[in-house]
Amino acid sequence: MKRRCLQVLWILIGNILVFTQGTAQEEQPPNIVLILADDVALMDFGAYGGEASTPSIDALAADGLMFTQHHATPMCAPSRAMLLTGMDNHLTGMATIPEVLPPEHKGRPGYAMYLEDGVKTLADYLRQRGYRTLMTGKWHLGHGPGQLPDSHGFDRSFVLDASGADNWEQRPYIPFYSEAPWFEDGEPASLPDSFYSSEFLVDRMIDYLEEGSGNGTPFFSYLAFQAIHIPVQAPREFSDRYRGTYDAGWESIRHARWERAKTIGLIPHSAALAPMHPLLDPWSSLGDEQALYRRRMEVNAGMLEAMDYHIGRFVEHLKASGRFDNTLFIVTSDNGPEAANPTDSALMRAWLQLVGYDLETLDTLGEKGSYSFIGPAWASAAASPSDLFKFYSGQGGLRVPLILRGPGIPRGELRDAFSVLSDVVPTVLEIVDNDSSDDIYRNLTGRSMLPVIRGDSDRVYPPDAAVGIETAGNAALFRGDYKLVRNLAPFGDGEWKLHDRVNDPGETRDLKAQEPEVFAAMRADYERYAARNGVLEMPEGYQALEQVMANSLPLLARNYWWVLALPVAVLLVLLLFLSMRARSRT
């Protein structure tokens, strides 16, 4: 009897310990991994129907949620500001990007081009909650003391403060920069001789994680990749896997993605595909240039796969260290596909030649010393089934993937609720706090997606809520299933249009004449949004890509004065020689 009582007692103690351990494990706040890809279109990942092989990201999607109506801004830094702060970009100081800022807007509220005083990031909030906060990758939210991640909540950081840079070495990619400005913990840093961006960013993040691996503290890891921003570069073993994939040309790829979008459930089966923009050349008109253009797209897919491969290494590290199961993964992009063609500018062509970039050697395209991009026609194909691309407020510039995987996240499901990047911060904080009553939420413009994630609601925003987006004059306002949009030249006409964003994702039908009351109400909504957030109108005739070149000119003159001075010096020497010769004859 005594032995039996002891057995029962041990069983009870064991059950209590198991229950206590289970409760402690459940109460342990999740680790947060935020993965931000650069210029990745809605359908670029394999899980969303893209051609590139992305098994690591696809596995997170299969084990979690895929959002199909998630939106960024048309440009990188404003999107990153919204993602990290939960606020409209104009309220953070990042109304646009420094490269396209017109002189008239310099120093105006919201246009500081860094996170302004008092603006808090997700790292700030999580560090207050006991998290270790770590970042590697592209920052682009301020340059210099007090403006880098170490001053915005991050314990450790190795970041690029520029819109982009070379992926093989420490060199700039446009004349706006004299160097590739990398920083570690706020101090200027140098890259190793053996460097490839996606590999290095994961390696350094793993190093940071291991520094605190034994203390049991939850962590926030922000991995901001350079893939697939210009210059598009990838190891040949990745790019070569896509030989032949893009031989049929951009019209074919755009149509194929549109068909897959219907199959996956990204768009209704009745949704029309917008035609290619009239400024874009047909694939059949290229002739011998087709080989170069299809290789550029092969390298683009290779760069995506290379990023995914290194994400897979990071996931395996978390699994091996026992931290994977209690980690919330968030994977998204900062805007749609990059359409710029740097060779369209004489200034850019001259700079690329001056600094020695190789743009056309097919055998080494994407490798060290080369410079690749996909251009507007391939960007239009990548943006399918939507209209336009990065820099513009067509759905192709705004609609991006969003994947969530982790504890409490349903598995293998789609969510079609409208959301924006600023919704990520309140969502993460509500998951971490298990509470949405804190005053902090009243300071954010974003809304928690948690009710939609759990299946308790089919909307993040009420049907009558007006949600605005604006960068560099390209603007949109969403209300329910309607979208008001304005796109500037050269791919827009500057006119406001009204679309059904759900049933017409290609924005093929302007509804403003058909529904004038809705159009007028949403125009009024936009004006209220602009006034509330301090949105400035653009100068007459403004074009973003032209402004990049104008802003680069004084920097180009300062950084390469010796190139400009050389012909002047030669001319002076020649004039002196001719003058001396003429004197000798007299």
pLDDT digits (tens, 9 = 90+) for 333-344: 999 999 999 988
Kindly report the length of the chain.
Answer: 586
pLDDT band at 545 (very low <50, low <70, confident <90, very high): confident
pLDDT band at 4 (very low <50, low <70, confident <90, very high): very low
State pLDDT tens for residues 482-540: 999 999 999 999 999 999 999 999 999 999 999 999 999 999 999 999 999 999 999 98
**pLDDT the model gives residue 547:** 85
What would the mean pLDDT of 19-24 be, rounded to a whole number? Answer: 39
Q: Which of 83-92, 249-258, 455-464, 561-570 has the lowest mean pLDDT?
A: 561-570
Please, which residues have CB within 8 angstroms of residue 113's CB and are 6 or more apart in sequence? 77, 93, 94, 97, 98, 101, 142
| Closest to 161 in 3D by CA, of 89, 99, 104 | 99
**pLDDT the model gives residue 567:** 61
Q: Which amino acid is at 582?
A: A
pLDDT band at 544 (very low <50, low <70, confident <90, very high): confident
Q: Given the DSSP bridges, would you call strands 219-224 and 132-138 parallel, antiparallel or unpaired? A: parallel
Work out the burial of residue 523: count CB atoms within 10 Å of its CB; fewer than 13 is exposed, 13-18 middle, 19 or more buried: middle
Q: Given the DSSP bridges, would you call strands 399-405 and 65-71 parallel, antiparallel or unpaired? A: antiparallel
Report residue 216 as tokens.
């049991």
| Closest to 61 in 3D by CA, of 232, 213, 266, 242 | 266
Inter-CA distances, 169 with 20, 166, 200, Å: 51, 6, 11
Report residue 356 as tokens.
């020695």
| Closest to 88 in 3D by CA, of 446, 527, 332 | 446
Residue 245 clears pLDDT 60, i.e. is over it: yes
Report residue 331 as tokens.
């994977």
Between 439 and 105, residue with greater pLDDT: 105
Residue 363 clears pLDDT 50, i.e. is over it: yes
User: 20-282+293-409 in CATH: which number?
Assistant: 3.40.720.10
Report residue 463 as tokens.
């049907």
| Closest to 273 in 3D by CA, of 506, 503, 42 | 506
Residue 254 CA to residue 390 CA, distance in Å, equals 16
Q: Which of 21-25, 111-115, 441-445, 504-508 has the lowest mean pLDDT?
A: 21-25
Strands in 161-232 per DSSP E: 182-184, 187-188, 219-224
Q: Which amino acid is at 231?
A: P
Residue carrying structure tokens 């998630």:
70
pLDDT band at 399 (very low <50, low <70, confident <90, very high): very high
| Average pLDDT score, the chain | 91
- Residues catalogued as catalytic: 76, 140
State pLDDT tens for residues 270-282: 999 988 999 999 9
Query: Is residue 210 within 8 Å of residue 20, measured between CB atoms?
Result: no
Query: Is residue 315 within 8 Å of residue 56, measured between CB atoms?
Result: yes
Inter-CA distances, 145 with 38, 114, 142, 148, Å: 25, 11, 9, 7
**pLDDT the model gives residue 391:** 96
> Residue 167: how many CA atoms within 13 Å on its side-chain side?
29
**pLDDT the model gives residue 370:** 97
| Closest to 525 in 3D by CA, of 564, 566, 484 | 484
Between 379 and 274, residue with greater pLDDT: 379
What would the mean pLDDT of 357-374 be, rounded to a whole number? Answer: 96
**pLDDT the model gives residue 584:** 66
Residue 247 CA to residue 283 CA, distance in Å, equals 10
